[in-house]
Amino acid sequence: MSQKRDNSTKAVVLVLLGVALLILATATESILGDASKHVRRTIATEGLVYTIATGLFWGGVVSLALGFVVARAATAGQIAPLPLKRKSLLTLALGSLIAFLFWCYYPHQDANTIGSKLGLRLPGLYSSCIARLARIGTPEAVDLLRREWRTRGRARRVEAAKALLSTKWRPADRSEQASFLVLSGRYEEAAALGQISIDPLVEEFKSTDQPEERSRICALLLKSGDPRGIEAVQNYLHEKLARIGAIVKTALPLGAHASTSMEALSPTARRVVISGHLLEGESPDDKRPYVRGNYGTRESLESKAKSRAYQIYQSIFREVSMTEFESVVVQCRHGVRVQTVPFGFATLPGMGGTDQSMMIFQTSVAPATAQKVNWRSATLADVQRIWTIEENEIPSLQFIAVR
């Protein structure tokens, strides 16, 4: 009676465990997907997720089967045959799993057989099947690659599109060519086809989570001037501007305030402008013309301005891809006393005038030029070689002693 009660308890535990494992296997993709929203979704990560789900599923099946065997034994009052049945069942389950995996990874040469494996998300299986279809190159294999290219998730579409490059297949029309180029990562070539590439580029922009790719596509959509493309990137641009502002804030002295804005140079071109009192952490609109830092000469003031601009550029380009902007501008402002005198009269230092916040030093860097610099180790001299000094009022400033 005690053995029968033990078997009944084991049966209940095994059945409950099996049900729990099956439920967990069903929810695995959703659970791991939510836990890895900020991790790049690739074929490798999908394979890992589904391998875990498959393991949980088989564990659940075996646990349920064992539970029913134990329950039957408990009902019939059997004791001795139970370990043998359990061992046989485990052997059968393990053998079935090994046979299944052997079939999955065996290098079949028949396109239809390979096609039946494409839906199985096991590590490395999808990539090997796609590569094998590309090597076979038969019409059936090409049709399967085209199907994968058009219907699967982004990572799989990209791999299928690249595999098609090694076959004799060519796009049937310009629309298909545009989609094919976009999925192959050849965004500039796709954009060169004109308006027909806008929808594929917008779709790719929304589906990819890679910052560099989004930046490249955004630049092409802005350059196109197409309302569909410009509307698709508006929220992205505002979010990126906010991120740039946060990065600039960390590069400035404690308490400093600078504005980060985006200016439209034309309907298809934009630039980022960082403007403020960047020298000693004063307010951007500070109008007081008094030196409160260690820059009491023109030379030291200019050196300070260049150093601060360098810090800002380095902090931005080290962290963010800026391909979508024509340039990044840093404006250094300072309180200046401006005197207006009639023509022919000499100015009297320290006498009269109005105090105002004036832009005294402005530089710009084009993102295309910035790519030539290793921003992780760039020095001030490196950055000076690529920036353009657009305005420099420092040589015309007069420094006076205030009693």
Tens of pLDDT, residues 105-118: 888 888 888 888 88
For the cut 80, the answer to whether the pLDDT of residue 34 exceeds it is no
The predicted model gives 350-356 an average pLDDT of 68
Given a contact cutoff of 8 angstroms between Cβ atoms, the answer to whether 224 and 191 are in contact is yes
Q: Percent of the chain beyond pLDDT 70?
A: 69
Strand 269-276 to 258-266 pairing? antiparallel
Higher pLDDT, 6 or 82: 6
pLDDT at 84: 46
Q: How confident is the model at residue 141 (pLDDT cuts 50, 70, 90)?
A: confident
CA angle 381, 382, 388 (to 5 degrees): 90
**What distance in Å separates the CA atoms of residue 146 and residue 134, rounded to the nearest whole number?**
11
- Inter-residue long-range contacts of 12-16, CB under 8 Å, 24+ positions, other chains counted: 12/67, 12/71, 13/67, 14/63, 14/64, 14/66, 14/67, 14/70, 15/63, 15/64, 15/67, 15/68, 15/71
For the cut 50, the answer to whether the pLDDT of residue 35 exceeds it is no
The predicted model gives 60-77 an average pLDDT of 67
Give whole-number Cα distances, 403 to 176, 290, 300, 350, 398, in Å: 76, 12, 21, 10, 16
Burial 255-276 (b: 16+ CB within 10 A, else e): ebebebeeeeeeebbbbbbbbb
Higher pLDDT, 165 or 56: 165
Q: How confident is the model at residue 283 (pLDDT cuts 50, 70, 90)?
A: low
Higher pLDDT, 60 or 41: 60
pLDDT at 38: 38
pLDDT at 74: 63
Given a contact cutoff of 8 angstroms between Cβ atoms, the answer to whether 341 and 375 are in contact is no
Q: How confident is the model at residue 43 (pLDDT cuts 50, 70, 90)?
A: very low
Tens digit of each residue's pLDDT (9 = 90 or more) over 239-262: 999 999 999 988 887 767 789 999
Specify the length of the chain in residues: 403
Q: Percent of the chain beyond pLDDT 90?
A: 30
Domain locations along the chain: 2-105, 111-231, 252-342+349-396
Q: Which residues pair with 391 in a beta bridge?
A: 362
Q: Could you tell me the two tokens for 368?
A: 């295309």
Q: How confident is the model at residue 155 (pLDDT cuts 50, 70, 90)?
A: confident
For the cut 50, the answer to whether the pLDDT of residue 25 exceeds it is yes
CA 230 from chain centre, in angstroms, equals 20
Nearest to 289 by CA among 361, 395, 397, 391: 397
The predicted model gives 303-313 an average pLDDT of 92
Nearest to 383 by CA among 280, 310, 282: 310
**What distance in Å separates the CA atoms of residue 345 and residue 341, rounded to the nearest whole number?**
6
pTM: 0.65
Range of weakest confidence among 186-195, 250-259, 345-354: 345-354
**What distance in Å separates the CA atoms of residue 193 and residue 187, rounded to the nearest whole number?**
10
Given a contact cutoff of 8 angstroms between Cβ atoms, the answer to whether 126 and 47 are in contact is yes
pLDDT at 179: 86
Ranked by mean pLDDT, the top range of 25-34, 177-186, 373-382 is: 373-382
Higher pLDDT, 367 or 125: 367
pLDDT at 272: 96
Give whole-number Cα distances, 360 to 249, 305, 353, 356, in Å: 20, 9, 17, 12
The predicted model gives 190-206 an average pLDDT of 92
Given a contact cutoff of 8 angstroms between Cβ atoms, the answer to whether 395 and 293 are in contact is no
**What distance in Å separates the CA atoms of residue 161 and residue 373, rounded to the nearest whole number?**
33
Give whole-number Cα distances, 97 to 26, 93, 258, 301, 326, in Å: 19, 6, 62, 74, 57
Ranked by mean pLDDT, the top range of 18-22, 93-97, 182-186, 398-402 is: 182-186
Q: Could you tell me the two tokens for 135?
A: 């090597």
